[in-house]
């Protein structure tokens, strides 16, 4: 992080505590981490910190725009320090690996619905779901194995 976390908290009007600093550092060095992972990293840094304290700190940091919370379907919330650039995410359906992808247009909302139904739209949060390169390579590898193995049922069908 370019700015030191303590002054970052002050700039955003957030009272500086060791716990909030530890949580902010954990999110900063582990983008797209879950609250559980944040707790682990924060504990490694400052010793004991309760789960509730981690959730409280995450809530305050998110409310004050220091961190961003994304909530993919079927996954716990993920936290990151990259805020305010309207970037989107690529998520692997197989292993859950999450990567940043720049905003398609450059500013929010980068998508407009066909019909706004009278809503004033200020954001479109996009998650692109698919398979990450590693899982893709793994699945192609197993497909090759199947192709190499003898296909008895096929030859049976041809002769019979």
Q: State in angstroms the smallest separation of the CB of 133 from Zn ion.
A: 8
Which residues would be at the binding site for Zn ion (CB under 5 A)? 80, 92, 94-95, 97, 100, 132, 135
List the structure tokens of 60.
């305050």
Q: State in angstroms the smallest separation of the CB of 128 from Zn ion.
A: 12
Q: State in angstroms the smallest separation of the CB of 78 from Zn ion.
A: 8
Name the residue with tokens 């700015």. 3
Q: Which is nearer to Zn ion, 54 or 132 (CB)?
A: 132
Instruction: Give which of 122, 120, 119, 125 is closest to 103, Cα–Cα.
Output: 125
Q: Which is nearer to Zn ion, 16 or 126 (CB)?
A: 126
Q: Which is nearer to Zn ion, 49 or 81 (CB)?
A: 81
List the structure tokens of 74.
């079927």
DSSP-assigned beta bridge partners for residue 89: 100, 127
Q: State in angstroms the smallest separation of the CB of 129 from Zn ion.
A: 11
Q: Which is nearer to Zn ion, 12 or 82 (CB)?
A: 82
Within 1-151, residue ranges assigned H as helices are 5-11, 18-29, 35-46, 51-63, 133-148
């Amino acid at each position: 992080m370019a700015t030191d976390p303590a002054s970052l908290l002050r700039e955003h009007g957030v009272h500086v505590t060791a716990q909030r600093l530890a949580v902010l550092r954990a999110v900063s060095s582990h983008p797209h981490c879950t609250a559980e992972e944040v707790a682990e990293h924060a504990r490694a840094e400052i010793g004991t910190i309760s789960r509730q304290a981690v959730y409280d700190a995450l809530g305050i940091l998110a409310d004050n725009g220091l961190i961003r919370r994304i909530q993919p379907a079927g996954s716990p919330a993920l936290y990151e320090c990259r805020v305010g650039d309207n970037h989107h995410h690529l998520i692997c359906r197989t292993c859950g690996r999450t990567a940043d992808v720049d905003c398609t247009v450059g500013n929010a909302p980068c998508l407009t619905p066909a019909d706004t139904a009278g809503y004033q739209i200020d954001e479109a949060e996009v998650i692109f779901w698919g398979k990450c390169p590693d899982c893709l390579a793994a699945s192609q590898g197993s497909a090759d194995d199947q192709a190499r193995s003898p296909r008895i049922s096929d030859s049976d069908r041809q002769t019979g």
